[in-house]
Structure 1
Amino acid sequence: MLLTKPRQYQPQLPDFLSLCERNYARLNRLLPADFAPGLQWGITINPQQHYQLTVLECGPFTTRLQIESVTAGQPISLDNFVNPGFDVQLYHDAQLAEVVRVARYRKFAPRYSYPNPQMMQPDEKRQINLLLADWLKLCISQGYNAAAVELK
């Protein structure tokens, strides 16, 4: 029996950029025409699924959004295991949207060795951006109610 070393995951940049481009296009379908820091709005997919989108930062070429699951108008605690909350950085000049935070994790490496102390998947960065893609597909396919209100 021949034992071989498992192949290490190699990120595919064109595939990843294509995913980020599709996420940007889908996310723009959910964004209001004009937005500024502090603007927040809700998306209701069904009576059990409510999300709050908040514009954290706006620059000439970038915008950072926070997407959180909410219950009765209050964000679910980040300690909750199933919280799908994440931050998304939009790069308007390149028309890309990339997840930059999920729960307490920030700044994902393109590749992780496996196993690792945090038990990240070898393609963790790609996986979290696929999560955003799935969430955006759900919002678009199921419809939503969006209402914008200023944070106080």
Structure 2
Amino acid sequence: MKQKYRPKLPDFLSLCERNFAQLLPLLPAKLAVGQQLVIGLDDDHFYRIDVLEVCPFTTVVQIRALHEQRWSVVQPTFDVRLYHDARLAEVIGCHGVRYFKAVYDYPNTDMLQPDEKRQVNRLLSDWLQLCRRQGFQAEPVLG
């Protein structure tokens, strides 16, 4: 019989710490609601970061592809909450799912994996590593 998934909090917090450290260089030093930044990975792949919420200790940003790519690959849209005092970045929404539970029963009606929360944060980590490897160019959206 398969064992029930049990989250490992230290591993998850380490992942969120790494995401914070990699996401912070993409953001302007002074954050304000409504700010937008375009990230260009190459001539065909552009993403936009929108600042949705700024509070004394947290910021919420949305990261999404600017245009659908030529092939039929689903481009992730991340809603990420940055906890500045704890130096953590956690995905709070991805592909229309908001506020992930730590563990899901499986199977479930939405077909989310038992460790869905960890998986979407790992996906953000992979995207941030891609930005770093590609030598992203970030430009503020003027207007």
In structure 2, what is the Cα distance between the partners aligned to 1:135 and 1:70? 15
Partner of residue 79, structure 2: 87
Equivalent residue, structure 2, for 1:21: 17
Summarize deviations over 1:92-122 as a string: whole Å, max 9, x none.
0110000001121001110111111111011
Counterpart of 2:130? 138
Q: How does 1:55-94 map to 2 (within 5 A)?
A: 55-71=51-67, 76=68, 82-94=74-86
Task: Tell me what 2:116 maps to.
Answer: 124
The number of aligned residues is 140
Q: Could you tell me how far apart the structure 2 residues matched to 1:46 and 1:136 are?
A: 14
Write out per-residue CA displacement over residues 44-100 of structure 1, whole angstroms, 9 at most, x where no aligned residue: 1012211000100101100000001012xxxx5xxx871311100000011000000
Quote the offset at 1:147 in angstroms. Answer: 1.0
Q: Which has the higher strand share?
A: 1
Q: Distance in 2 between matches of 1:6 and 1:17?
A: 25
Deviating beyond 2 angstroms after TM superposition, the runs of 4 or more aligned structure 1 residues are: none
List gaps (5 residues or longer) in structure 2: none
Tell me how far apart the structure 2 counterparts of residues 134 and 102 of structure 1 sit (CA, whole Å): 14
- 1:22-37 to 2 correspondence within 5 Å? 22-37=18-33
Give TM-score scaled by structure 2 length.
Answer: 0.93
Q: CA RMSD in A?
A: 1.4
**3-state SS of 1:46 partner:** coil
Q: Counterpart of 1:48 in structure 2: which amino acid? A: D
Q: TM-score, normalised by structure 1?
A: 0.87
- Tell me which amino acid in the other structure corresponds to 1:101: G
Q: How far apart are the structure 2 equivalents of 1:83 and 1:19?
A: 21
Which residue identity lines up with residue 56 of structure 2 in the other structure?
P
